[in-house]
Structure 1
Amino acid sequence: MIMGIKKTLALSVATAALGLTLMGGGTYAYFSSTAESSGTFAAGTLDLSVNPTTVINVGNLKPGDTAQRNFKLVNKGTLDIAHVSLATDYTVTNKEGAPVNIADLGDFINVQFLINQDKGDSVVYSTTLADLKKMTPDAVENKIFIPFFEERGGLKANSEDTLTVKFEFVDNGKDQNEFQGDSLQLKWTFTGKQGSGDEK
């Protein structure tokens, strides 16, 4: 009899434990549904090029001579270019066997950046190559290209525009014999910059 009671109690405890386990397990059971969302961030491109790539090749210059050249600024990228900066560098080579110059030939090469308006070309900015070389690109951007781009609204993606430059070997009315036979190699580096960000 005692044995029967023990069996009954043991069976009751096991049943109760199983019931609690099932109830506890029930608190972790729930319906669920999953949805996913994805996105892509693809950066656009700025692709500025200049045509022609040779700034200028002129021989037999003498004081007072001028040369005007047109450059195509081309944006082959997918983003608009809002600003263009310019870095200038040059080296002067003296005529073989001639003494080193006292003056810098770059001080006597005047550069005029022109913009075509209704009544002909208008000077946007004028300076010497020597002064242009000393300027930082940002300073040049503010002085030269702001008027150029304000008129055109920047350089749109997949578009081009013409920049006209006039060079002059300045005649200072004095003896400039030290420059005879000299040459100046000019390098311009154009850098396109994007505008401010937009709401997408």
Structure 2
Amino acid sequence: MSWKKKFGMGAVSAALGLSLVGGGTYAYFSDTEVSKNNFTAGTLDLSLNPETIVNIENLKPGDKVKKTFDIKNDGSLPIDKVLLGSSYEVMDAKGDNAKADFGEHIRVNFLKNVDGKVTIIKSKTLKELNNISEDLLKEKGWFLVYDTNLKVGAKDKIEVEFEFVDNKKNQNVFQGDSVELKWTFKATQTDGESR
């Protein structure tokens, strides 16, 4: 082997040895920490007491019946609004209603009791509640029944009056008829906030 070849092989061997030794001995300080994070969504949980608000028999035109029920926030977030979805079905006792709708003759008066003085704050027939316009609430089919921040664990009373409206005309067509009323209450959250 010639001197040049030996020198070249030696130089390559030395460079390879130095790179292995240098790479293996290169060191630096380091430290690692792990951050454990958790996101849990809150809950909206509205309860009613009693769940059956009204069960009235033997109504006649002009009758009024007041009912009170509690709404309670059993969730972990405040409730901003409580909306009411209303639907009903008329059972025609004699089959002779001739397109008359008993729901047009039952009015719901939403009441407010301040220092013993009761005033009507909203008044709608069952048919009107069933046909709430989109403009009224910006959410079709819902009627606003409560518009205050209901804090977690808090409860409030809702007072309503059901009235068989006496229209001063013959209402014999409704004798024996009944209305099956279904109310669905929907709680909405308060606005999000920076925390």
Query: What's the TM-score bracket when you normalise by the shorter of the two chains?
Result: 0.7 to 0.9
- 1:173 match: 168
**1:8 Cα deviation after fit:** 7.2
* Regions of 4+ moved over 6 Å: 2-9
On the 8 A contact 2:92/2:176 being kept in 1, the answer is: yes
TM-score, with normalisation over the residues of structure 1?
Answer: 0.84
Take 1:154 and 1:138, find their aligned partners in 2: how far apart are those partners? Answer: 23
Question: Percent of counterpart pairs with the same letter?
Answer: 42
Take 1:176 and 1:13, find their aligned partners in 2: how far apart are those partners? Answer: 113
Whichever residue aligns with residue 132 of structure 2, its letter is: M
Structure 2 runs not aligned, ≥5 long: none
- 2:100 match: 103
What RMSD over aligned residues (CA atoms) do the two structures have, in Å? 2.7
- 1:15 match: 14
1:193 and 2:162 matched: no
On the 8 A contact 2:78/2:150 being kept in 1, the answer is: yes
Whichever residue aligns with residue 69 of structure 1, its letter is: K
Cα shift readout 1:77-136 (whole Å, capped 9, x = no counterpart)? 0111001111100000011x4424431111111111012212522211011111011116
On the 8 A contact 1:84/1:190 being kept in 2, the answer is: yes
Take 2:191 and 2:125, find their aligned partners in 1: how far apart are those partners? Answer: 32
Counting matched residue pairs gives 192
1:55 pairs, out of 53, 56, 59, with 53
**1:16 Cα deviation after fit:** 3.6
Change (3 A) 1:128 1:9: closer
- 2:127 match: 130
- 2:85 match: 87
**1:40 Cα deviation after fit:** 0.6
Change (3 A) 1:130 1:155: same
Take 1:174 and 1:5, find their aligned partners in 2: how far apart are those partners? Answer: 126
Task: Say which structure is richer in helix.
Answer: 1
On the 8 A contact 1:87/1:137 being kept in 2, the answer is: no
Change (3 A) 1:101 1:184: farther
Task: Say which structure is richer in strand.
Answer: 2
**1:71 Cα deviation after fit:** 1.0
TM-score, with normalisation over the residues of structure 2?
Answer: 0.86
